[in-house]
Amino acid sequence: MTRQYRAAAGRTRNAEGKAAGLRTRGARTVTDLVPGRPRIDLVPAVERYFALVQRTVDVNRRLTVRWAQALGYEGLAKAELSDQLAKRELPKTGNVDALIERLVEADSK
């Protein structure tokens, strides 16, 4: 049964490739018919796109790391969190979430 699925997937992939090739050739043919078509440099747009993607990845990475660090403090009592903050000479007032946030912030520095 797996062989049949693999064969069908392969045929589908080949058909998709052929269709994409036909669309590309068709688009080139149509654009070749337009005289004096403007040449557009897409490189700057592509570079901006990938810069945006990279910034998004960086932001998601920072958020994920902070979340993972915060999980390390989950389940600790307020007194335990306060003790850890006192050892680092950080303010130890506030609710549990504020204490965890302060510890995570200190860990990331």
pLDDT tens across 12-57, in order?
666 666 666 655 666 566 556 667 667 788 889 999 999 999 999 9
Q: Which amino acid is at 93?
A: T
End-to-end CA separation in angstroms for the chain = 55
The C-alpha atoms of residue 104 and residue 69 are separated, in whole angstroms, by: 6
14-23 pLDDT, tens per residue?
666 666 665 5
> In 10 A of CB 109, how many CB atoms?
4
Residue 70: the pLDDT is 86
pTM of structure: 0.49
Q: How far is it, in rounded angstroms, from Cα 33 to Cα 2?
A: 47
In 3-state terms, the chain is what percent helix, strand and coil (to 5)? 80, 0, 20
